[in-house]
């Protein structure tokens, strides 16, 4: 399993647990418009949530190849997760029963992940970008 996957639920939960975040002081220019992200202390990362990489694939764009997103001019606050794409995630109704069928680590992983899959929409073509900060730039790649 790539380490970024292993780390992702942890990072997501950091964000979910602390509803007030510090915005980054810098504005990052992208091809489509300026972005302002969030600063996390632990781990030390700058986070950009819900960055669109395509026009929402709704209406006539449904099931079509992704279309370039509209550009924006003023800095976009990249501070909120977008919905995730529709998916049929496994349920853990009864943890005791789940542990009869799945390894403990898998159940723990699902317990961290499932709250993040609650909001589902076909309008889901967004990226969450985690950029290492400071002297610990190897953090994300740890274990590679
Ligand atoms: C969960 O499943 C176990 C094993 O089947 C059962 O003994 C227990 O009563 C269940 N708990 C709940 C809250 O349903
Ligand atoms: C799901 O959407 C609701 C309403 O927009 C929001 O309050 C909540 O934080 C979202 N949850 C996640 C995990 O993104």
Q: What is the mean pLDDT of the segment spanning 30-48?
A: 93
Q: Considering its fold, how many domains does the chain have in total? A: 1
For 106-140, write each residue's pLDDT tens digit: 999 999 999 989 999 999 999 999 999 875 444 44
Q: Report yes or no on 13 lying in a domain.
A: no
DSSP H/E element including 14: helix 3-17
Q: Report yes or no on 3 lying in a domain.
A: no
Tell me, using a 6 A CB cutoff, whether residue 109 lines ligand 2: no
**CA 112 to ligand 1 centroid distance, Å:** 21
- What's the CA gap between 40 and 69, in Å, rounded? 27
Tell me, using a 6 A CB cutoff, whether residue 96 lines ligand 1: yes
pLDDT classification of 1: cutoffs 50, 70, 90? very low
Q: Report yes or no on 59 lying in a domain.
A: yes
Q: Report yes or no on 140 lying in a domain.
A: no
Residue nearest to atom 5 of ligand 2 (CA): 119
- Give the pLDDT score at 41: 86
Range of the domain at 107: 23-132
For 63-103, write each residue's pLDDT tens digit: 999 999 999 999 999 999 999 999 998 888 899 999 999 99
């Amino acid at each position: 399993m790539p380490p970024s996957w292993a780390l992702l639920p942890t990072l997501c939960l950091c964000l979910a647990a602390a509803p007030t975040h510090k915005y980054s002081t810098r504005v990052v220019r992208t091809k489509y418009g300026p972005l302002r992200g969030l600063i996390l202390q632990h781990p030390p990362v700058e986070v950009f949530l819900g960055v669109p990489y395509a026009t929402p694939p709704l209406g006539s764009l449904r099931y079509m190849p992704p279309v370039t997103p509209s550009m924006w001019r003023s800095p976009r606050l990249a501070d909120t997760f977008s919905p995730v794409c529709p998916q049929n995630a496994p349920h853990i109704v009864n943890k005791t029963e789940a542990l009869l069928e799945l390894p403990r680590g898998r159940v723990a992983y699902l317990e961290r992940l499932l709250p993040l899959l609650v909001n589902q929409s076909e309008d889901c073509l967004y990226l969450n970008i985690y950029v290492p900060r400071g002297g610990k730039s190897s953090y994300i790649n740890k274990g590679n």
